[in-house]
Structure formats: structure tokens, C-alpha cells
Amino acid sequence: MTLDDLADAIAARAGASPDESWTAKLLAGGPERCAEKFGEEAVEAIIEAVRGDNAALTSEAADVLFHLLVMLQSRGVAWSDVMAELARRQGQSGIAEKASRENGK
Ligand SMILES: N=c1c2ncn([C@@H]3O[C@H](COP(=O)(O)OP(=O)(O)OP(=O)(O)O)[C@@H](O)[C@H]3O)c2ncn1[C@@H]1O[C@H](COP(=O)(O)O)[C@@H](O)[C@H]1O
């Protein structure tokens, strides 16, 4: 399973019944609900990272990635565009990238 596969699965479930699909249920709640759920999952991952429970962190990290993709779907942001942005940054130092973003403001 790749994140590309998961993004495709989420897009395919967007039109499903909210009674049958967690993805469809979340999307039916709108971008605010998707963002709220992503935030909850991120906080749960943070808690496990701080606690040092790697099994729980692994599970929460999977929830974070799934809910990130659902949030992007809710706003019509393509996963391929996020990957293209990461590719654009590849090979560039993080410090230089931050400076170029701040200069562009
Ligand atoms: N990867 C996931 C995935 N990860 C987490 N979840 C769901 O995300 C939900 C969030 O977990 P919580 O414990 O926070 O849920 P909860 O307590 O019921 O939520 P609240 O009522 O508290 O808001 C759970 O219902 C999980 O089942 C996922 N649901 C779906 N997928 C993928 O999406 C595909 C399509 O799923 P459906 O849309 O359900 O058909 C699946 O085949 C999977 O590949």
C-alpha cells in the first residue's frame, strides 16, 4: 500500500454512502470536520511520540496520514500536487527553502 493507493481509495469512496464508509461520513461533514478529525489524530500521535510507545505511535501515524488525505480530498487538493511540491524541494536545504518562502511573502 502506498499513499498514492490510499489517496485513490479515498477519492473512490467519496461518493459512497456515509452509512457504509468512514471516508464518506467524514467528507459529508465538510472540510471543517475533516480538519478537526485530522487535528485530533495529530494530537494523539504527538502524545504517543512523547510517551515513547512506538507501537501506539505507529498506529496513530497511520491515522494521521489517512486523515490528512481525507482533509486534502475535502478541499480538492490532489495528493500528486503535494508530492510535486515535495519533489520541488528535493535537494534544496530546508533552511534555504524557508528563506525563499519568506522572501516570496
Ligand atoms: N486507512 C483507513 C483508516 N484509518 C483509520 N480509519 C478510521 O478512522 C476512524 C477514526 O478513528 P477514531 O478512533 O478516532 O474513531 P471514532 O472514535 O469512531 O471517531 P469519533 O466518533 O470519536 O469522531 C475509525 O473509524 C477508523 O476505522 C480508517 N478508515 C479507512 N481507511 C482506509 O480507507 C478505505 C475505505 O474505508 P471506508 O471509507 O470506511 O470504506 C479502507 O479500506 C482503508 O484502506
Q: Delimit the domains of the chain by residue range.
A: 3-77
**Shortest-distance Cα residue to atom 44 of ligand 1:** 6
ipTM of the complex: 0.88
Q: What is the pLDDT of residue 101?
A: 77
Pocket residues for ligand 1 (CB within 6 Å)?
Answer: 9, 13, 21-24, 63, 66
Q: What is the pLDDT of residue 55?
A: 98
Cell numbers representing residue 59 in the block: 498506529
Whole-prediction pTM: 0.89
- CATH for 3-77 is 1.10.287.1080
Tell me, what's the pLDDT at 43?
98
How is residue 93 written as a grid cell? Answer: 536545504
> pLDDT tens digits, residue range 28-43?
999 999 999 999 999 9
Amino acid (one-letter) located at 26 = L
- pLDDT tens digits for 41-91? 999 999 999 999 999 999 999 999 999 999 999 999 999 999 999 999 998
Q: Within 10 A of 83 (CB to CB), how many other CB atoms are there? A: 13
Cα gap 76→3, rounded to integer Å: 16
Which residue, by CA, sits nearest to atom 10 of ligand 1?
63
Report CA dihedral (75, 79, 84, 87) to the nearest 10 degrees. 130
Distance CA 44, CA 68 (A): 14
Return the residue matching grid coordinates 528535493: 90
Looking at ligand 1, which atom is closest to the CA of residue 40?
14
Testing ligand 1's pocket by substitution, the residue of 22, 23, 65, 79 carrying the most ligand atoms inside 8 A of its CB is 22
CA distances from 103 to 12, 85, 90 (A): 39, 18, 19
**In the structure grid, which three cell numbers stand for residue 99, read together?**
528563506
